[in-house]
Amino acid sequence: MMGKRFTDASKWQDPWFRKLTPTTKVFYLFLLDNVDTAGVWDRDDALFQFLSGSSIVVDAHLEELEGRIVTLADGKILVPKFVKFQNRTTLSQDCPPHRQILRLLEKHGLEQDASGLVIISKGLQKSKQTQGKGLPNPLGIGKGIGKGKGKGDPRGEIPPALDDPRFHEAWDSFHKMRSQHKWPKQKPETLKKMFKDLEAWGLDDAIQALETAVRNGWRGVFHPSQKTKTKVNDRDYEHGTDF
């Protein structure tokens, strides 16, 4: 990591950044401070949660940042625009400070494209493109990454404890609302975590939590007892099922 890095102060006026949940804003800033000079974070969920004080799973933040980050085959996280922003130019072997970055890119199996964005090396793309998850379209940064039809219901498999017509109706409404907002689909790991929380809350509270989220247009789902304690714009994100 570098001791000092460039930052874009105008991000606070960027509609994309403003719409992020508070904890994802913190995670994104953490990411920019902790990637290596090639823009790659050697994922350490426990470290982020310890330093930020957040108990929300990192996968939830990664989903919210879809289109801005890439999950590499080894599980590390790439910020494709990082190298271009920090160096303001295409890297060159003729520039001594660039050589270390180029070595790192090669180590990670990455390279810069013609526009300066970091992508998976073309040789690796050809050999791994059918493996799917996390492999980007070289020209598609910002348009979604690793998307596909996949298998099974994208809303997840509802556990037996929640297999009730009322829950199905609330669950369908919640996903319809997410679709209308054009929010990214949840990964299986995120759905598993959410179902675990909803089961722990009980059927009636789970249904009420979903209905409240739909009514207020919330990205996350929170226990009904929390809605009377906080305002819509001042929710307790640490204790909610936020994704």
Q: Where do the domains of the chain lie?
A: 9-131, 160-239
Q: Which of 209, 211, 223 is nearest to 176 (CA)?
A: 211
Per-residue tokens: 174: 């919640």
% of residues, the chain, pLDDT over 70: 78
Higher-scoring residue by pLDDT: 162, 240: 162
Contact between 36 and 111 (Cβ < 8 Å)? no
Entry pTM: 0.54
Whole-angstrom distance, CA of residue 210 vs CA of residue 122: 43
Q: How confident is the model at residue 79, as a pLDDT? A: 95
Asked whether the predicted pLDDT for residue 138 surpasses 90, the reply is no
pLDDT in tens, 17-75: 999 999 999 999 999 999 999 999 999 999 999 999 988 889 999 999 988 999 998 99
**Averaged over 176-201, what is the pLDDT?**
84
- Predicted confidence at residue 148, as pLDDT, reads 37
| Range name among 29-38, 130-139, 157-166 with the lowest pLDDT average | 130-139
SS3 40: strand
pLDDT at 161 over 90: no
